[in-house]
Structure formats: C-alpha cells, structure tokens
C-alpha cells in the first residue's frame, strides 16, 4: 500500500555479514545506485541474528523476483542489512498509537547515523528500506518513491523466514514497487501491486506497463542491472571439509585453506549432485601449509553442491558439500 500513514494494511518485509553502526556513520559510503536496508534497534532491544538472516533472504528473494519479472533488477549493499543501535528505548518510538511516529522516528535515527543518507533526500544515490523494532497496537507499514518504512511486525515476519514466505516476500515486492514509483492497483488484477501479492509468486506479476514505468523513470536511472552475483555468506547454510581442509565463505568467494605440510597442484571445482560442473576457477594453484585457493561464486540455484579438490591426475582428494539456502 502506498505511504498513507493511517489505516494501512500490514505490509511485509522482510549471517553472515552485518554491520552494527551504533548510530555512527560508516567511514566510507557504499556504492551509489543500490538499495540499502537499515534495521533500527531501540536501546532496550538486543540484536537477534535471525532477524538479519531473514531480512537478507527476503531482499534476495525480491531481487530475484524483479529480475524474473522485468529482465532487470536492483543491487543490494554489502552487508545487505545495516544495523543502527538507537540511544532511545522502545517507548520513545511508540510514544503514541500511530505507526507513522515509529517509522519517522526510525528515519530520524538512520539520518543521524548516516548523514549522507539524510543529504540524499531525493533518493538519487540510494533507495532505502527501514525496519524499526517497535510497534503500536494499530501498526501498519508503507512506502513511497525511494523509501520503504516498516515497524516491528514486518521485522518479526522476516525473522521466521522461510515460513509464511508468500506473505512476506510478496509484501516486500509490493512495497518495493512503491519505492520504484508504482501506485497501488485499483483492484485485484493479478499483479504484485494489488492484494494478489498475498499469493506470491503465483498469479502475482509485474505487467508490461508497470515494468516500462519503473524502467523509464528518471528517478530510477542507474539503479538497474541485468544480472546479480550473490555473496557466498548469504547463499550457503553449510560448507564442511575434512580436518585437513578449512573452507571459508567470505563475501562472494569460496576459499579453501590447507593445513597439511608439503605442496601439490590441485583444481577446485563446484559440481551438482549429477556431477555437472557449476563453477570452475581459472587455472591451478599449489596448496601447502598456510596457502589458499579461492573461487568467485556465480548465482547458483538452490540445491546441494560438491566442491572436490582434484589433483593433476583428476582424482578427487577431498569432497566438500555446500548446501545453498
């Protein structure tokens, strides 16, 4: 629903990497033309990583949805979720029974922590999504061009991902439609801008007119990309090797670290369970005590993969199972 601050429908939004700003701006701004997600925590609320993980997953689901529907999508920050720890308690955010007060207090906290976001009032550098971990009895949520604002209800929804996935991912895609400049549909027309988002992703599309509108909007210029590369930390639930090997997930790279003495040539690969090659780093490297090899991961589909380390005779020395989210 568009950003009308009374009687709104409850909307949806919603371990790797996260940044706790503690209400202090980062030393360097992230790249321009991305979507930034902020999670505002009152002073009396502790950080629960389940919220961060859920928000990250819902943002990735939404990113994929726009790519599928439009042929283009948006980029996310790294880390996807930036945490702002407020000096104010929950009661300050929810001092009146009006979720607009909560959302605007949250926006004030983000602007104080990140002056560059405040300066970007027209949302030409970044589009932003604000979760605020506070709510009143009549809470809702909403969005307007350039900005999504949501209270605790939506953060709680993200924390249970992938349960009620249709509700929360569909709602997120709906609110992002407003962020990109789309209005609510006038009736249930099978698009994500109508109440049909509750059925996401079934019978829940962006139609040709909506795609054209967001693509050609001058406010969205520079935000669109036609492919995405995922962060390994966000894509994989587990990556385990034998005791001779350590496997590390760092940003968008898979890294193998050997701790055996001596050296030997090997190639690190990624295969699906049918043995089909999914990713292959360029060239061979030697691994010895303290040495590593890394591979930049592509955008893999959900599933289970094997990462064998093959020697020059093509014999797999060790196998590492990687299960994507």
What is the pLDDT confidence band of residue 290, given thresholds at 50, 70 and 90?
very low
What is the pLDDT confidence band of residue 26, given thresholds at 50, 70 and 90?
very low
What mean pLDDT comes out for the span 296-324?
57
66 and 74 in contact (C-beta within 8 Å)?
A: yes
For the chain, what is the mean pLDDT? 76
In the predicted model, is pLDDT for residue 279 greater than 90?
no
The phi-psi region of residue 33 (left if phi > 0; otherwise alpha if psi is between -120 and 50; otherwise beta) is: left
Terminal Cα distance for the chain, rounded: 29
Cis peptide before 79 (omega within 30 of 0): yes
User: Is pTM, for the whole model, over 0.85?
Assistant: no
The CA–CA distances, whole Å, from 109 to 22, 81, 160 equal 10, 15, 25
Structure tokens at 247: 């496997």
Q: According to the model, what pLDDT value does residue 94 have?
A: 84
132 and 45 in contact (C-beta within 8 Å)?
A: no
In the predicted model, is pLDDT for residue 56 greater than 70?
yes
Q: 28 or 186: which carries more pLDDT confidence?
A: 186
- CATH class of the domain defined by 19-225: alpha beta
Give the side-chain half-sphere CA count within 13 A for 178: 24
Q: According to the model, what pLDDT value does residue 221 have?
A: 96
Tell me: the pLDDT tens digits for 63-105? 989 998 999 999 999 889 999 999 999 999 987 767 788 999 9
What mean pLDDT comes out for the span 168-191?
95
Q: According to the model, what pLDDT value does residue 147 have?
A: 96
- The DSSP secondary structure of 183-249, one letter per residue, reads PPPSS--SBTTSGGGGGTTTT-B--HHHHHHHHH-GGGTT-EES-----HHHHEEEEE--TTEEEEE
Cis peptide before 302 (omega within 30 of 0): no
Residue for token pair 């709906």: 174
Q: According to the model, what pLDDT value does residue 16 have?
A: 27
Alpha carbon distance 85, 88 (integer Å): 9
Q: 82 or 280: which carries more pLDDT confidence?
A: 82
What mean pLDDT comes out for the span 110-121?
96
Domain residue extents for the chain:
19-225, 232-324
Instruction: Kindly give, in sequence order, each residue whose CB lies less than 8 Å from that of residue 234, ignoring residues fewer than 6 positions away.
Output: 16, 17, 56, 57, 60, 80, 325
Q: According to the model, what pLDDT value does residue 78 have?
A: 83
Q: According to the model, what pLDDT value does residue 20 have?
A: 32
Structure tokens at 170: 């569909």
Tell me: the pLDDT tens digits for 158-172? 999 989 988 999 999
93 and 152 in contact (C-beta within 8 Å)?
A: no
Q: What percent of the chain has pLDDT over 90?
A: 48
Q: According to the model, what pLDDT value does residue 122 have?
A: 96
Instruction: Kindly give, in sequence order, each residue whose CB lies less than 8 Å from that of residue 266, ignoring residues fewer than 6 positions away.
Output: 284, 285, 286, 287, 293, 309, 310, 311, 312, 317
What H or E segment, with its residue span, contains residue 100?
helix 99-113
What is the pLDDT confidence band of residue 192, given thresholds at 50, 70 and 90?
very high
**Residue of 245, 317, 246, 253 whose CA lies nearest to 281:** 253
The region of weakest confidence among 11-20, 254-263, 275-284, 290-299 is 11-20
Tell me: the pLDDT tens digits for 231-241? 333 444 334 44
Alpha carbon distance 273, 306 (integer Å): 7
What mean pLDDT comes out for the span 255-269?
58
CATH no. for 232-324: 2.60.40
In degrees and rounded to multiples of 5, residue 164 shows phi and psi of 55, 40
């Amino acid at each position: 629903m568009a950003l009308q601050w009374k009687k709104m429908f409850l909307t949806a939004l919603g371990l790797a990497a996260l940044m706790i700003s503690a209400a202090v701006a980062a030393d360097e701004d992230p790249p321009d033309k991305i979507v930034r997600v902020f999670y505002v925590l009152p002073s009396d609320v502790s950080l629960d990583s389940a919220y961060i993980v859920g928000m990250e997953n819902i943002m990735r689901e939404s990113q994929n949805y726009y790519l599928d529907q439009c042929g283009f999508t948006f980029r996310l920050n790294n880390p996807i979720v930036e945490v702002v720890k407020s000096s104010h308690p929950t009661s300050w955010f929810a001092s009146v029974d009006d979720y607009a007060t909560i959302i605007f207090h949250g926006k004030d906290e983000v602007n104080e922590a990140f002056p560059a976001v405040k300066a970007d009032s027209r949302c030409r550098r970044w589009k932003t999504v604000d979760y605020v971990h506070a709510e009143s009895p009549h809470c809702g949520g909403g969005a307007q061009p350039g900005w999504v604002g949501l209270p605790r209800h939506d953060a709680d929804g993200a924390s249970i991902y992938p349960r009620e996935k249709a509700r929360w991912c569909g709602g997120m895609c709906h609110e992002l439609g407003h962020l990109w400049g789309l209005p609510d549909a006038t009736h249930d027309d099978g698009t994500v801008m109508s109440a049909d988002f509750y059925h996401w992703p079934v019978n829940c599309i962006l139609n040709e007119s909506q795609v054209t509108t967001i693509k050609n909007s001058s406010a969205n210029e520079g935000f669109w990309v036609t492919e995405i590369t995922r962060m390994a930390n966000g894509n994989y639930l587990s990556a385990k090797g034998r005791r001779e090997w350590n496997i590390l997930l760092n940003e968008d790279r898979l890294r193998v670290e050997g701790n055996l003495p001596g050296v030997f040539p090997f190639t690190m690969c990624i295969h699906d369970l049918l043995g089909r090659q999914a990713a292959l780093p360029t060239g061979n490297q030697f691994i010895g005590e303290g040495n590593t090899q890394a591979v930049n991961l592509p955008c893999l589909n959900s599933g289970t993969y094997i990462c064998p380390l093959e020697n020059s005779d093509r014999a797999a020395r060790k196998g590492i199972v990687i299960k994507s989210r």
